[in-house]
Structure 1
Amino acid sequence: MSESLSGPQKAAVLLLALGEDYATRLFREMREDEIRDLSTAMATLGPVDSRVVEALCREFGDSLGGAGLVGNFDATERMLLKVMTPDRVASIMEEIRGPAGRTMWDKLGNVSEAVLANYLKNEYPQTVAVVLSKVKPDHAARVLALLPEGFAMEVVMRMLRMETVQKEALEGVERTLKMEFMSNLARANRRDSHELMAEIFNNLDRGAEGRIMAALEERNRESAERIRGLMFTFDDLTRLDGAGIQVLLRAVEKDKLALALKGASESLKDLFFKNLSERAAKMLKDDLAALGAVRLRDVDEAQAAVVTMAKDLAAQGQIQLSEGQEQMIA
């Protein structure tokens, strides 16, 4: 039955079964050579038994079910661009790429308090009061705690004096949030694949990172160099200024820091030592000396923990970041 048909013949049967309207739409998406092959198959097909048509449709349906479907932002954007203007598609994609939620206030509830506070601190206190009155109290509390003290008090006073917000004023705040904050947040959330891979590489142990990076350099040197440029490693902490190092020192666990510094360069150790008091620096040096030989994997894990802490502090605006084998360290 259908087994005796070639690929182009099977496709020709399916297009004929779909009818002229659907077949015409599909032809518009094909290359000229594909249209020529299918047209030849159609013209020479002859009569096809209804059982063959049914079997082919079933085979086609089974192949779709087996392969599965992948829904993602890129596929959605491509489909929308076929029926809408690029500007309209960009507006829709920016909105759906933003935080989840049916309404603007639902979406704000899914934005990190640090990100939201960083945006709101530059707004009028009255605007911030409206926003905090519309999100959940626990989220509002966390945002309020991150605002500058004097500014936070201005917001509190306006919230206390606030009566029912007029519909027009509320709609104005929503429009501003959508046009400025949410659209910028959606654009920021578009992750470049190289940025994602750099983050993954940051979490590999040195042995695995070296092996995979070497293999990638052979396959695609340009991508390897781009990923390496985006990676933020423990050694990159030398980019921090003294104030940043001191903030990090207060946040990181002391035993983790000692273990992380066991495998650090002398210049990075000195950077940490000189930003400690003389007594604290001596204690850290004594802790380092007392560690003895340690596994490289343990050092890697400690350094990764310190780097993660540094990134968290940077995300909160507290510091600025500039843009295995069981080996032993004696």
Structure 2
Amino acid sequence: MSDEAGSGALDDIEKAAILLISLGEADAAEVLKHLGPKEVQRIGYAMTRLNNVPQSQVEAVVSDFMHVVSDQTGIGINNDRYIRAMLNQALGEEKAKTLIDRILMSTNTSGLDTLRWMEARQIAETIRFEHPQIQAVVIAYLDPDQAAHVLTYFDDRVRLDILMRVSALDQIQPQAMQELNDMFEAQLTGRGSGSSQTSPLGGVKATASIMNFIDSTVEAEVMDGIREADESLAAQIADLMFVFDNLQDLDDKGVQVLLREVSTDQLVVALKGADTALQEKIFKNMSKRAAELLRDDLEAKGPVRVSEVEAAQKEILTVARRLADEGEIMLAGGGEQLI
């Protein structure tokens, strides 16, 4: 955490963390329950790094906030999802419990939504002995990165079966969705739930999104299994998956936004496995001096294991997907928009 007095040295997440801590527990809870799990997770992590923040810096953050909202008629905050671990780490288990209860057990949280706030291992254990079709619906309902993490807790055969079922999903009938929602509501919170609306769920595109977040080795095994069962389906999934080379399709502004979020060390390793066209696109969207330094680093970098390159590329793709979720950039794969 910077010791500078102003708020200019802080990023938006750090400012949000300072602002929420300044508000106090009750008001912070009201704000947090309107945010999604990813946002709250990032804010919670920022809270853990706050240390001896000067009063002048707190005042600067609050002043900035008041300036931003002064010309607005309202603040639109939407989403719902994942927080428990980060708030426990940020605030301590006892203090966080009250906050978590207020957020997760609000009347607006349905049974299926509650799953989104749980750790991947907990979700896997919750659905482990359910019918495979129920498992597939839950996996399709989760965010792709969370779904991919949950699938790591199943063996190869079950994981393949679930993904095949997710691919075959289209829509789920309102009554079936309501019954499933009520089942998890009763199981997880001990109470009934409100109405549920039908919506598109699952499908080939959802499977491709989940596959994007699965570890490279596991991904190859799963794709082989899908290809063996249905070669056409495997081809559709592969066409829709967003891989590192697809970053070449980002517009220049998108590349520049992404580069601000990625460390040079990470980028050097990732680019060791990239084709020349993508490397040139990256260089083109940096300052001349920064591009020269990156070229020198690439040339000076010795041999790198394929696994290290793939890991660095996955990390950058995770950042890219987060930025796409936030509307900062637009990703596309196989000719279709993924986000």
Higher helix share goes to which structure?
A: 1
Do both share a fold (TM > 0.5)?
no
